[in-house]
Amino acid sequence: MNKCHAITVSSDGSLCLVRHSISAPGENEVLIRVYAAGVNRGDIKQKYGDYPSLPESASAVLGLEVSGVIEEVGSHVSQWQRGDRVCALLMGGGYAEYCLAQATHCLPIPEGFGFIEAAGLPETFSTVWQTLILQARLRRGESLLLHGGASGIGVAAIQIASRMGVTVLASAGSERKCRACIDLGARHAINYRQDDFESIVMELTNGKGVDVVLDMVGAPYARKNVNVMADQARLVYVAGDSGGTVDFNVRDIMLRRLTITGSTLRHRSISEKREILRELQNAIWPQLESGSIKPVIDKVFSLEQAQQAHDYLEQGKAIGKVVLGVR
Ligand SMILES: NC(=O)c1ccc[n+]([C@@H]2O[C@H](COP(=O)([O-])OP(=O)(O)OC[C@H]3O[C@@H](n4cnc5c(N)ncnc54)[C@H](OP(=O)(O)O)[C@@H]3O)[C@@H](O)[C@H]2O)c1
């Protein structure tokens, strides 16, 4: 058992740098020498004890995604070898100099990408893929209303959807964020602090509504989300940050045959995550390598500055991803 530096949550809720034990990889795992770690809203929720049913296998060390170099492989791992450059989706443990990952939850770093750009890909792109493509079955020619357009999730979703020929309407909390949504490919961005998204969406769609809504706001948006859904539209939740108990009339669901769904990536099985990542590698990695889809990195902090990185994200300043540069 070796030790390395890692970030955990101290009893007063602040982040602290500790010496952390790291074991040898299990038979289907790899040990990664971490170069960069993505910071996600889920890490902040975990810090505050506000993560919905944190899985027992989750590490006390924060961090759901990393990029780095494989240091050691488990006895059943044949697809990777020491020295391979990878990015990986984790159950936790990413804010550290070394971490363990399932071998099937690693992907090669896209050609031409550095560690910083690659670190922010696995969690957000997997979440967008599983919700928009696998659950909401978003298709070319459809329309999407995306709340949180400038979030880590939002900047990936705008690009994935618009590149596949979907008309994207995004909501965000400032003019600067709205401009970023348009630059990334949204047809229209709504500053929700100034305008009512329901009336704008209905006007932009000539009263028809949108085919898919992706939401992380929850209760305050529930009725309006249902009101802007076209016949047979799908509403998919990735969070309910402003309230999880929602209220709408089932008659609307029945009359327009609406589907309401959602998921949390961290609770999906090892094989489901492997399948999501495999689809991402086939469908999205070529677009990242051609430059059609770009990583959006707002700011980089060091591992020791993890607390500042969280403060920055919590202040709502970021457009896209915040990343920890670990070495
Ligand atoms: N279910 C899953 O598997 C899964 C996986 C990853 C993330 N998530 C969730 O997805 C959300 C985004 O995650 P992230 O890491 O990308 O977060 P992030 O980068 O920290 O962004 C959060 C965003 O929410 C926006 N927001 C807050 N209230 C809003 C509102 N009323 N209308 C529109 N936007 C609003 C904020 O920007 P402005 O308000 O300034 O626009 C901010 O851009 C979080 O709730 C996270 O927990 C879920």
- With beta carbons less than 8 A apart as the criterion, state whether 295 and 113 touch: yes
Q: What is the DSSP letter of 96?
A: B
Q: Which of 230, 263, 296 is the last residue of a domain?
A: 263
Which numbered atom of ligand 1 lies nearest the CA of 220? 31
Residue 26 CB: number of other CB atoms within 10 A? Answer: 14
- With beta carbons less than 8 A apart as the criterion, state whether 59 and 41 touch: no
Contacts of 313 (CB under 8 A, 6+ apart): 39, 41, 44, 322
Would you state the pLDDT for residue 57? Answer: 77
Which numbered atom of ligand 1 lies nearest the CA of 130? 3
Give phi and psi for 4, each to the nearest 5: -145, 170
Question: What does R_g of the chain's alpha carbons equal in angstroms?
Answer: 20
Q: Is 320 in the pocket of ligand 1 (CB under 6 A)?
A: no
253 and 134 assigned to the same domain: yes
Instruction: Give the position of tokens 């989750």.
Output: 58
* pLDDT exceeds 80 at position 114: yes
* pLDDT exceeds 80 at position 11: yes
Output the DSSP codes for 166-190.
-EEEEEESSHHHHHHHHHHT-SEEE
Which numbered atom of ligand 1 lies nearest the CA of 262? 1
Q: Is 273 in the pocket of ligand 1 (CB under 6 A)?
A: no
CATH of the domain at 149: 3.40.50.720
CATH of the domain at 290: 3.90.180.10
Q: Which of 263, 284, 314 is the last residue of a domain?
A: 263
Would you state the pLDDT for residue 51? Answer: 81
Which numbered atom of ligand 1 lies nearest the CA of 263? 1
Give the distance (Å) from ligand 1 centre to CA of residue 239.
Answer: 8
Six token digits for residue 226: 């249902």
110 and 208 assigned to the same domain: no
Q: Is 108 in the pocket of ligand 1 (CB under 6 A)?
A: no
259 and 270 assigned to the same domain: no
* pLDDT exceeds 90 at position 212: yes
86 and 150 assigned to the same domain: no
Q: What is the pLDDT of residues 124-173, one digit of tens each?
A: 999 999 999 999 999 999 999 999 999 999 999 999 999 999 999 999 99
- With beta carbons less than 8 A apart as the criterion, state whether 322 and 301 touch: yes
Q: Is 313 in the pocket of ligand 1 (CB under 6 A)?
A: yes
- With beta carbons less than 8 A apart as the criterion, state whether 91 and 122 touch: no
Q: Is 127 in the pocket of ligand 1 (CB under 6 A)?
A: yes
Domain that holds residue 184: 125-263
Q: Which of 218, 240, 263 is the last residue of a domain?
A: 263
27 and 145 assigned to the same domain: no
Which numbered atom of ligand 1 lies nearest the CA of 154? 16
Alpha-carbon distance of 101 to 122, in angstroms, equals 12
Number of domains in the chain: 2
243 and 274 assigned to the same domain: no
189 and 129 assigned to the same domain: yes
259 and 153 assigned to the same domain: yes
222 and 106 assigned to the same domain: no
73 and 175 assigned to the same domain: no
* pLDDT exceeds 80 at position 184: yes
Partnered with residue 30 across adjacent β-strands are 73, 101
Closest by CA position to 96, among listed 122, 61, 71: 61
Give the distance (Å) from ligand 1 centre to CA of residue 91.
Answer: 19
